[in-house]
Amino acid sequence: MTDAALGRLRAVTIVCPDYPTATAAYRDYLGYQICESGRVDAALADAWGAPLAAGARFAWLVPASGADVGIRLIEGPNTAPFRPYSAWGWNAIEIAVSDCDRAVAQLAQGPFQVVGAPAELGFSAGALRAGQLVGPSGEVLYLTEIRHQVPGFVLPPAQCLVDQPFIVILHAGNAASAIQSYADQFGNLGTDVFQFPVEFMAQFQGLPQDHPYTLGTVALAGGGYFEIDGAPAHIGPRQRTPGHLPPGIAMVTVEGGSSAAVPSSPGPLHAGATARRLDGVAGEWLEVLRND
């Protein structure tokens, strides 16, 4: 990676039509802890290009392990719940768990719908077991138990039942082109793409269960990744109301490159940092934190 590369993953932001329900869900069923809350500052909303988000309630939640990678929930009372995999952009969050079956069962007691029962991931040779759920704002969660490392990757084993996010899943028109765009723009290394059926995703998109999706990954610092999935032809760009945040998973926050990394802290997400919004090839929003 270069000094301009995207650094560590810090947050995944979800716009919540029902903010109280979403906040309680992440606190009570994931065991996440609120370490910062308040209302979105007008200057920050302007930096995002979403001035109408100013004044909205937000909560920044982190796992009980003490990891400083977490979920930011932002109130969006006039935003309809996002339908999973209905548009390009950020669609899912992969979270490390210590026991996949137990974690899926726990979340299923709350406002999370199981769409993929716990199962071994066939490409991982027994290293990974995962289940998938849809959250109260249309976000998809992959709960992944990391039993041992997958060759070519550095994954963070969970230190509590539901630990930190470590992969964010992007839907793009062309996976290989999107991966190359991250290499060209930032210098973050990507993998070759491969094809793999994703049954629950195909169901959302009205495709046969064995539809082969083309996917690959882009490496961040600190064991974080973007997974990039190629969308079928009938899926297109995400629509948003001008002045507002995109619906569903609105943006992903990462640190700037190694020369301008933000000191890690479980406290306020933007402590000592300036935020800049960048757009990816599929229209995805990136919030890049820098301390210079």
**pLDDT tens digit sequence for 14-59:** 999 999 999 999 999 999 999 999 999 999 999 999 999 999 999 9
In sequence order, what are the residues at sequence separation of 6 or more whose Cβ sits closer than 8 angstroms to the Cβ of residue 283?
A: 88, 89, 237, 238, 246
The rounded mean pLDDT for the chain is 92
- Is 80 exceeded by the pLDDT of residue 215? yes
Q: Identify the CA nearest to 32 among candidates 68, 75, 82, 84.
A: 68
Read off the pLDDT band of 259 (50, 70, 90). very low
- Is 80 exceeded by the pLDDT of residue 265? no
- What is the per-residue pLDDT for 217? 96
Q: Identify the CA nearest to 96 among candidates 220, 223, 198.
A: 223
- Is 90 exceeded by the pLDDT of residue 1? no
Q: Quick check: is 160 in a domain?
A: yes
Q: Quick check: is 14 in a domain?
A: yes
Number of domains in the chain: 1
Q: Quick check: is 144 in a domain?
A: yes
- Is 80 exceeded by the pLDDT of residue 126? no
Q: Tell me the CATH number at 91.
A: 3.10.180.10
Tokens standing for residue 59: 């909560």
**Whole-Å CA distances, 263 to 113, 151, 189, 291:** 36, 29, 23, 9
- What is the per-residue pLDDT for 44? 95
Determine the 3-state secondary structure of 53 from DSSP: helix
- What is the per-residue pLDDT for 206? 96
Q: Quick check: is 107 in a domain?
A: yes
Q: Quick check: is 4 in a domain?
A: no
Q: Quick check: is 227 in a domain?
A: yes
- Is 70 exceeded by the pLDDT of residue 109? yes
Residue numbers of the domain that contains 193:
9-290
- Is 60 exceeded by the pLDDT of residue 278? yes
- What is the per-residue pLDDT for 270? 85
- Is 60 exceeded by the pLDDT of residue 195? yes
- Is 80 exceeded by the pLDDT of residue 257? no
Q: Quick check: is 3 in a domain?
A: no
